Amino acid sequence: MNIQEYILSGIVESYVLGLASTEERAEFENMCAAHAEVRAARDAFERAIEQQAFMEATSPPAHLKSRIFGELDVEADRKKPGKFKNVQRPMKPVRSIWSRYVAAASILLLVVSTGLNFYFFSKYKDYIAKYDELVASQNQTAALNQSLQTKLHDYESAMSLMKDPAMAVVKMPGIATGPNPESSATVYWDTRSKDVYLLVNSLPQPSADKQYQLWALVDGKPIDAGVFEISQGIPLVKMKNIPEAQAFAITLEKKGGSVAPTLDAMYVIGKVAG
Amino acid sequence: MACHKENDLNINTTYTEQELVTALKERQSAAYSYLYDHYSGALFTIVRQIVQNTELASDVLQEVFVNIWRKIETYDPVKGRLFTWMLNIARNASIDTLRSKSYQNSQKNQELADNVSMGGQASQINIDSIGIKKILVKLKPEHRVLIELAYFKGYTHEEIAEIEDIPLGTVKTRIRNALIQLKEYLQ
């Protein structure tokens, strides 16, 4: 069979229309590769078929294009061709739109939630700091309250002593010839228990190595009634118990007190009312 | 401006067949859009001539385009034109549908309905009167039957020999002769 006979045998049409057997196809492809005339004959028939098909084209339903492109979008998303089930039912592109919304919403929620976490954490830190401040302030207030309570208690007990009718009051004015004539002190002497309480009305602050000392004068002899500090906030200082005395006096002595008073350092003196 | 330009490309660009194939292999959506706009009508006719049900033919056409998308890598220009390749995809998809169980069942029901109403011919005549089928009418009856069975029903030569009860060699010869005539009618 020469080339021309081969071309006219119907193999060209058979091949192009997909009716040739596997062997015929292989043979035809070889012939095409080898002979330009066979290729030309094939091309001519292909063009004729194509032209005919275009002339007789009928429009598919209008909605079909978007349906097909929805499907192709899905195909493009999967990226792995050949792994699909047979496409019998049309697949609609609804899935991708909704999943996009859901994905967007969940990302938004994540962002909002992360933001809120930071916000609440910083708020939490603020509150911790404020709480610490409040605790400190509360402690301070409590301490102040405690000291005020103590002070109040001291004043109350001092007041109740001074109010007591059984309390003998011995005023000790400043000695005009003494070191400080402006000085003044008062002894509250419990006539029942003989306890002695001292109220310092006014005495100059002594130097660090000196201390004031209270004396009871019994029949002209001085009896030590104890040393004391001048401190703010302590209204009455309890001194030594003195069973008997005609007068009380205060001298400035060396720290810790003396056995006998230094007479030229006597600041105040007062007689017990007869 | 860039947007307009792209739109213009989508609508107006014409591809040479080589350019189109390259763009299709790159999965450019503009190329598939162009492909659909230019080829869907021609392919739809072929599908309808085999499947003969517009709704089902739409499903098959969808499958054809999905198959083109999936198989475009395998298209070899050396072996023929792009349209020929797509035409064979369309024919194969149509015949596969024709042979599917669900179609066979629906056809039985359809035949029953046709027998009752004596209708159902009109649409077939319409689609049968165009394209390759139009030319088929001009063929000698013994050739026409064979082309109908081979091309539109997808039967193998062996199956046709059995159906028509003629020797396999005769089937081959007659089909060849029918195709030669077909070509003459096309030209």
Whether the CB-CB separation of A252 and A262 falls below 8 Å is answered with yes
Interchain CB contact of A67 with B (< 8 Å): yes
Per-residue model confidence as pLDDT tens digits over B131-173 = 666 667 677 787 888 888 888 888 888 899 998 899 999 998 8
3-state secondary structure of A133: helix
- Mean pLDDT to the nearest integer, A60-87: 73
A45, A56, A67: residue with CB nearest B62: A67
At residue B105, what is the residue type?
Answer: N
Sign of CA dihedral B78, B81, B82, B87: negative
Alpha carbon of residue A200 to chain centroid: 52
**pLDDT greater at residue A27 or residue A231:** A27
- Looking at chain A, the whole-number percentage of residues with pLDDT higher than 70 is 92
Model-wide pTM > 0.90? no
Tell whether the model's pLDDT for residue A233 goes beyond 70. no
pLDDT at A186: 93
Give the mutation candidate from B179, B181, B182 for the A interface (greatest A CB count, under 10 A): B179
CB contact (8 A) between residue B84 and residue A16: yes
> What is the side-by-side strand order in the sheet with A167-173?
A167-173, A184-190, A196-202, A237-238
CB contact (8 A) between residue B83 and residue A88: no
Mean pLDDT score of chain A: 86
HEC profile of A92-103: CCHHHHHHHHHH
A119 vs A126: CA distance, rounded Å: 11
Tell whether the model's pLDDT for residue A89 goes beyond 80. no
pLDDT confidence tier of residue A111, bands split at 50, 70 and 90 = confident
- Mean pLDDT to the nearest integer, A121-148: 90
Q: Write out the two tokens for A84.
A: 């699909």
Beta bridge partners of A249: A215, A269
B42, B61, B132: residue with CB nearest A64: B61
Chain B residues in contact with A89 by the CB 8 A cut-off are 59
Tell whether the model's pLDDT for residue A84 goes beyond 50. no
3-state secondary structure of B68: helix
A212 vs A33: CA distance, rounded Å: 135
Helix H or strand E segment including A170: strand A167-173
B90 vs B67: CA distance, rounded Å: 9
Q: Hunting for tokens 């001074």 — which residue is that?
A: A162
Q: Where are the domains of chain A?
A: 3-55, 93-163, 167-271
pLDDT at B127: 56
How many Cβ atoms from other residues are within 10 Å of residue A101's Cβ?
10
Mean pLDDT score of chain B: 79
Say which residues have a Cβ less than 8 Å from residue A200's Cβ, sequence separation at least 6: A185, A228, A230, A237
B57 vs A255: CA distance, rounded Å: 124
> What is the side-by-side strand order in the sheet with A210-218?
A221-228, A210-218, A247-254, A266-271
B64 vs B83: CA distance, rounded Å: 12
- Looking at chain B, the whole-number percentage of residues with pLDDT higher than 70 is 75
pLDDT at B9: 43
CB contact (8 A) between residue A67 and residue B54: no
At residue A229, what is the residue type?
Answer: E
Per-residue model confidence as pLDDT tens digits over A205-221 = 888 899 999 999 998 89
Give the mutation candidate from B68, B157, B174, B186 for the A interface (greatest A CB count, under 10 A): B186
pLDDT at A95: 58
A14, A18, A48: residue with CB nearest B187: A48
Class (C level, CATH) for B130-187: mainly alpha
Tell whether the model's pLDDT for residue B4 goes beyond 80. no
Tell whether the model's pLDDT for residue A18 goes beyond 80. yes
The greatest distance separating any two alpha carbons of chain A, rounded to the nearest whole angstrom, comes to 171
Tell whether the model's pLDDT for residue A161 goes beyond 50. yes
pLDDT at A31: 93
CB contact (8 A) between residue A82 and residue B32: no
pLDDT at A155: 85
pLDDT at B73: 92
Tell whether the model's pLDDT for residue B124 goes beyond 50. no
What does DSSP assign to residue B77?
G
Q: What is the chain B residue with the closest CA to A29?
A: B79
Q: B1-120 has which CATH code? A: 1.10.1740.10
Interchain CB contact of A95 with B (< 8 Å): no
pLDDT at B119: 40
Tell whether the model's pLDDT for residue B10 goes beyond 50. no
B34 vs B14: CA distance, rounded Å: 8
- A positions 223-252 inside 8 Å of B (CB): none
Q: Where are the domains of chain B?
A: 1-120, 130-187
Chain A residues in contact with B78 by the CB 8 A cut-off are 32-33
Distance in Å, alpha carbon of B101 to nearest chain A alpha carbon: 12
pLDDT confidence tier of residue B7, bands split at 50, 70 and 90 = very low
CATH architecture of A167-271: Sandwich (2.60)
A250 vs A13: CA distance, rounded Å: 146
Beta bridge partners of A171: A186
Interchain CB contact of A27 with B (< 8 Å): no
Chain A residues in contact with B45 by the CB 8 A cut-off are 53, 56-58
A29 vs A19: CA distance, rounded Å: 14
Q: Hunting for tokens 């094939």 — which residue is that?
A: A42
Helix H or strand E segment including B91: helix B82-99
**pLDDT greater at residue B47 or residue A230:** B47
Whether the CB-CB separation of B136 and A56 falls below 8 Å is answered with no
pLDDT confidence tier of residue A42, bands split at 50, 70 and 90 = very high
Inter-chain contacts counted by CB atoms under 8 A, chains A and B: 139
Distance in Å, alpha carbon of A66 to nearest chain B alpha carbon: 10
- Mean pLDDT to the nearest integer, A53-62: 87
Chain B residues in contact with A19 by the CB 8 A cut-off are 150-151, 175, 179
In order of A97, A104, B55, B100, the CA distances from B61 in angstroms are: 24, 34, 10, 16
pLDDT at B86: 95
Residues in chain B: 187
pLDDT at B180: 84
- A positions 73-92 inside 8 Å of B (CB): 75-76, 81-82, 84, 87-90
pLDDT at A88: 44
Domains B1-120 and B130-187 share a fold: no
pLDDT at A8: 86
